[in-house]
Structure 1
C-alpha cells in the first residue's frame, strides 16, 4: 500500500508514542531520526558530560514503503553520534534495544498496511527482522 496517506505530522505523533527514540529536531518531511542511549560510557562524569553507547536509525518515507538504515556507536559529550565499535560488554544491550525498537516500529507501520525495508546501502548482515 502507498505511504502517501500518512502525513508528516501524524507520523511524528505516532512515532513519538513508540517511546523516547524519536528526535523530532532531526526529522524532516519523509525522513525520521531515532536514537537510543543504551549504555553509559562512564557514570563518573557529570550528567551533562556523559557519553553513551547506542544506535541511531534513519527511516525514510517513499511513496511505496519506508526504508531504514542504522549505525552503532557513541554519543559524544557534545551530543553528536560517531560510528564506533561497541565494547563487548555492551553489545548485547545495544543490540537488544535496537531489535525491540524495530519490532515496535514494524508493528506501528503494519497498522497502516505499509512495508518497512532495509535501505539498499545496508549490509545484508545488518538487516533487522521483526520477530
Structure 2
C-alpha cells in the first residue's frame, strides 16, 4: 500500500474526515473529532500512525519490520507503519479497520448509535 492508497482507504471509512492540525505535512484522519490515524509522506515514502490494542501492537512489531512503536504517540496504544510495500495490502487494511473500530468504540453512545443507524452493517466495528 502506498501513500495515496492509504489516504483513499482511510477517507473511505464512514464519516472519516481529514484535518491538518500539525501543519500541511501530516494529515490527521478523524471520526467525530477523534483521531484514528495520521498519514505523512517522508522522503517519498508514506508513514502512518494507527491505534492498536496493546498486545496486538507488540505482536505486529515482532511480525513486521515496517511496524514500529508510534512516532510522537503513546507507544502502548499506537503503531507507526512504514508504507514500504513489505506488509501485505490486506494486513494494512485490517490495521486501519482495527484503529477505526477502536476509536468508534470509544465514542459517546449517541455518536456510536448514530453511526450504526446511518451505516448499519457497512460500519465494521470488530476491533
Calculate the TM-score normalised by the size of structure 1: 0.31
Calculate the TM-score normalised by the size of structure 2: 0.32
Name the structure with the higher helix share: 2
